[in-house]
Structure 1
Amino acid sequence: MTHYSNLKYEVKDSIGYILIDREPQMNALNQETLDELQDIFKHFNADSHVRGIILTGAGQKAFVAGADIKEFTDLSVVQARWLSERGHIIFTDLIEGAPKPVVAAINGYALGGGLEMALACHMRIASENAKMGLPEVSLGLIPGYGGTQRLPALIGKGHAMQMILTGDMVDAHKAYEMGLVNEVVPQEKLISRAEEILQKIFTRSRVAVASAIDAINAAGDKKRDGSKVEMDAFGHLFGTDDFKEGVSAFLEKRTPKFPL
């Protein structure tokens, strides 16, 4: 088992758990943490025993309260550009592009790069004390890990403009009203609710779930034709054993038994 300095992880009941464990630093994303996130997501994405992933932060105060600003002070323009590109690669290819559902369990502050990481997840569940924002303009910057792209797609251009240009935070209930999070629950129920959602997904066809994630992601990808991805996947699934089992179960009025 790989030992990480900034992350804890485990696999239980087909769920891969990732805990960003830098509580004294409000779980801020430094370069080493990004390295470790890249490695664990590659591992979980390739592990057939892992059917879904829950990503959260240590403690009760912060999911991830942004990037580690101390590391910004000595970066050149070229280095800063690469830092942004690297964040895009990790968040887009490995988190958003994961072939299995990824749920962000937002247990407190999700700011800057932390909110951008949550935006890359397929679903977001927030505890009642959570607060979210993209405050980069207060540093003379803009969101650099996909926030300017994903936030408008999720909550609309007007709301995204206001959040990004003011740098203001929203609380969990406002985030729910805006469509930024799927659900708001008491903190003590946060992980169990995320588990409940994943366990329900696990009763569905594994191959269909992966195809659905890919097709939905294609809708926001300018390099792909989302409708074509959907049509191709729809046709392909007709040739799978899962489709045969699903239709047989429906006609026979029984619960389908998909391969685990």
Structure 2
Amino acid sequence: MSAPDAFVRTARDGAVLTVTLDRPEQLNAQTPATWAALASVGESLDDEVRVVVLRGAGRSFSAGLDRSLFSPEPGTDGGLGDLGRAPTAEAEERIRGYQAGFRWLRRPGIVSIAAVQGHAIGAGCQLALACDLRVLTEDAQLRLPEPTLGLVPDLTGTSNLVELVGYSRAMEICLTGRPVGAAEAHAMGLANVVVPREQLDDAVAQLTAALLAPPVAASRASAALVRSAVRNDPETQDAAERSAQVLRLQELAGR
């Protein structure tokens, strides 16, 4: 399945859905159509999907926004100039729609993997951060240059980055806009695995197989606990663990 105007295509193999940004000649630059297509993929997921693999065709994962969106001239669909001239409520609602293309990657029931090679800049970096796990090639670079352009990361990037690397590192990465290479990303917890480019497919396949190995109910319940642990206080999280474990034990006991 593909969304040709958005350059997003999908392929299903049992419980695994692969979503590919397919605009390699433009380094998979993104537009509002890209985000609408991604949101549509999330809305169409069925309960049989357990792992979503997000990829970019060609030599880079995604170099961020399509250059046309930076045009200050009126009439650029989804352009930053048009957003800046729109009424506040309308502009915020449009951005809310864009964010929906990212936020579903951590929805209950699935685990998402970003397979990142080459550049992941701006919106590309935020798309990788939106996933639960990241496999990077040795030449991968993550970067959030928005503040250096007078903007902010607004595609769910800030909350995901803070969860992954903590407050002070997130502040430094966001405000300087500097690139984070694969080795540093792995050291700070942004990357789960770093491999040579030619091993990316195998590494993603191995991780996917490992994620699919546990029973589906136990896997989904554990993933839900990990996600809630980020924000719950210890007492609330302890209660969530108790509740989830009793449900597991009851199922195993045949109740």
Q: So what's the TM-score if we normalise by structure 2?
A: 0.85
Query: How many percent of aligned residue pairs carry the same amino acid?
Result: 29
| Displacement after TM superposition at 1:226 (Å) | 3.8
Letter in 1 for 2:227: N
| Displacement after TM superposition at 1:13 (Å) | 5.0
Letter in 2 for 1:26: L
Indicate conservation of the 8 Å contact 1:101/1:198, yes or no.
no
Give the equivalent residue in structure 2 for 1:172: 182
Question: Taking structure 1 as reference, are residues 222 and 81 closer, same or farther at Cα in structure 2, changes over 3 Å only?
Answer: farther
The reply to whether residue 195 of structure 1 matches residue 196 of structure 2 is: no
Which residues of 2 match residues 108-257 of structure 1 at below 5 A? Answer: 108-221=118-231, 225-240=236-251, 243=252
Letter in 2 for 1:41: G
Question: Taking structure 1 as reference, are residues 116 and 3 closer, same or farther at Cα in structure 2, changes over 3 Å only?
Answer: closer
Indicate conservation of the 8 Å contact 2:2/2:8, yes or no.
no
- The equivalent position to 2:113 in structure 1, one of 67, 92, 103, is 103
Indicate conservation of the 8 Å contact 1:54/1:104, yes or no.
yes
| Displacement after TM superposition at 1:219 (Å) | 2.2
Which secondary structure does the structure 2 equivalent of 1:16 belong to?
strand
Q: Distance in 2 between matches of 1:229 and 1:222?
A: 9
Question: Taking structure 1 as reference, are residues 4 and 26 closer, same or farther at Cα in structure 2, changes over 3 Å only?
Answer: same
Letter in 2 for 1:134: L
| Displacement after TM superposition at 1:72 (Å) | 1.4
Letter in 1 for 2:120: A
Letter in 1 for 2:82: D
Q: So what's the TM-score if we normalise by structure 1?
A: 0.83
Give the equivalent residue in structure 1 for 2:46: 46
| Displacement after TM superposition at 1:221 (Å) | 4.2
Q: Distance in 2 between matches of 1:230 and 1:74?
A: 47
Coordinate RMSD, CA, aligned: 2.2
Which secondary structure does the structure 2 equivalent of 1:63 belong to?
coil
Give per-residue Cα distances to partners, 1:145-180, cap 9 Å, x unaligned: 122211122112111111111111111111111111
Q: For structure 1, which runs of at least 5 residues remain unmatched after alignment?
A: 246-260
Question: Taking structure 1 as reference, are residues 47 and 176 closer, same or farther at Cα in structure 2, changes over 3 Å only?
Answer: same
Indicate conservation of the 8 Å contact 2:30/2:65, yes or no.
yes
Count of residues paired in the alignment: 238
Letter in 1 for 2:92: R
Q: Distance in 1 between matches of 2:144 and 2:106?
A: 19
Q: For structure 2, which runs of at least 5 residues remain unmatched after alignment?
A: 70-78
Q: Distance in 2 between matches of 1:113 and 1:159?
A: 19
Indicate conservation of the 8 Å contact 1:100/1:209, yes or no.
no
Question: Taking structure 1 as reference, are residues 67 and 219 closer, same or farther at Cα in structure 2, changes over 3 Å only?
Answer: farther
Letter in 2 for 1:135: P
- The equivalent position to 1:65 in structure 2, one of 50, 63, 66, is 63
Indicate conservation of the 8 Å contact 2:32/2:98, yes or no.
no
Indicate conservation of the 8 Å contact 1:110/1:130, yes or no.
yes
Which secondary structure does the structure 1 equivalent of 2:113 belong to?
strand
Which secondary structure does the structure 1 equivalent of 2:82 belong to?
coil
Letter in 1 for 2:191: V
Letter in 1 for 2:204: A
| Displacement after TM superposition at 1:20 (Å) | 0.5
Q: Distance in 2 between matches of 1:89 and 1:39?
A: 9
The reply to whether residue 74 of structure 1 matches residue 82 of structure 2 is: yes
| Displacement after TM superposition at 1:4 (Å) | 4.0
Give the equivalent residue in structure 2 for 1:55: 54
Give the equivalent residue in structure 1 for 2:100: 89
